[in-house]
């Protein structure tokens, strides 16, 4: 344990030395010079101005409020994506998603809505799912898109009882005017990284 603490202290000291020249960090006071018998002229130093730190928000490709809007849309889209009923027509499920989706995503949504195997399974078990988003996190951010990871709890009710499932989706959005549109949704473990 002592050796780990010594290593950590050594790493911190080395990091401090490396960061001593960083322009964003204020300069630490120099240790006192050792006393000497020879007289030296007094050094005059002009205080160096501390550079202004750029606010993090100004480095982002979108203002924080706009990113919040994107995350909110990702949450609404994911809730609609993971909520369905065996009595709901594919067209009704699509109608809930379409206003939030980019035109490029519409064919994939139509294909997912019309999956006969999935629809038959839901009808046979009289399944209904209600999704609730439990967390949203920006995963990737570029000047042309933002990918939000949405974690969902889905309560599935069927003729066999009720179950709960957790899922995590990567939802990619692109700006459209002052708003956003979803252009992709995939499992967070495999997509949109």
Q: What CATH number corresponds to the domain at position 117?
A: 3.10.450.230
Range of the domain at 80: 63-187
| Interval 86-125: pLDDT, tens | 999 999 999 999 999 999 999 999 999 989 999 999 999 9
Paired with 141 in beta bridges are 146
> What strand order describes the sheet that includes 84-85?
84-85, 128-142, 145-158, 161-176, 179-187
Q: Quick count: other Cβ atoms within 10 Å of Cβ 149? A: 20
3-state helix, strand, coil in the chain (%, to 5): 35, 30, 35
pLDDT at 41 over 90: no
Residue 6 banded pLDDT, cuts 50, 70, 90: very low
Tokens describing residue 10: 């050594």
In a domain, residue 129? The reply is yes
Tokens describing residue 54: 């750029």
In a domain, residue 81? The reply is yes
In a domain, residue 128? The reply is yes
- Percentage of the chain surpassing pLDDT 90? 62
Q: State the pTM of this model.
A: 0.69
112: left (phi over 0), alpha (psi -120 to 50) or beta: alpha
Q: Is 157 exposed, middle or buried (0-12, 13-18, 19+ CB in 10 A)?
A: middle
pLDDT computed for residue 65 by the predictor: 86
Cβ neighbors of 132 (< 8 A, separation 6 or more) are 79, 152, 153, 154, 155
Helix runs in the chain, H state only: 2-19, 64-81, 90-97, 106-113, 116-125
| DSSP one-letter code for 144 | T
Say how many domains are in the chain. 1
Residue 64 banded pLDDT, cuts 50, 70, 90: confident
User: Among residues 151, 116, 148, 149, which one has the least CA distance to residue 131?
Assistant: 151
Question: Phi first, then psi: what are they for 38, rounded to 5°?
Answer: -85, 140
């Amino acid at each position: 344990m002592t050796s780990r603490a010594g290593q950590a202290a050594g790493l911190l000291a080395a990091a401090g030395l490396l960061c001593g020249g960083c322009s964003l960090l204020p300069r630490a006071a120099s240790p006192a010079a050792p006393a000497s018998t020879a007289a030296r002229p007094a050094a005059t130093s002009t205080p160096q101005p501390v550079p202004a730190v750029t606010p993090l928000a100004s480095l982002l490709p979108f203002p924080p409020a706009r990113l919040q809007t994107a995350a909110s849309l990702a949450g609404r889209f994911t809730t609609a994506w993971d909520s369905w009923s065996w009595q709901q027509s594919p067209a009704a499920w699509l109608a809930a998603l379409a206003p939030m989706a980019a035109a490029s995503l519409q064919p994939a949504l139509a294909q997912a809505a019309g999956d006969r195997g999935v629809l038959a399974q839901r009808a046979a078990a009289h399944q209904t799912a209600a999704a609730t988003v439990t967390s949203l996190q920006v995963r990737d951010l570029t000047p042309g898109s933002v990918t939000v990871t949405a974690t969902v709890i889905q309560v599935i009710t069927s003729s066999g009882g009720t179950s709960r499932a957790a899922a995590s989706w990567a939802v990619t959005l692109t700006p459209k005017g002052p708003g956003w549109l979803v252009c992709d949704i995939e499992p967070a473990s495999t997509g949109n990284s």
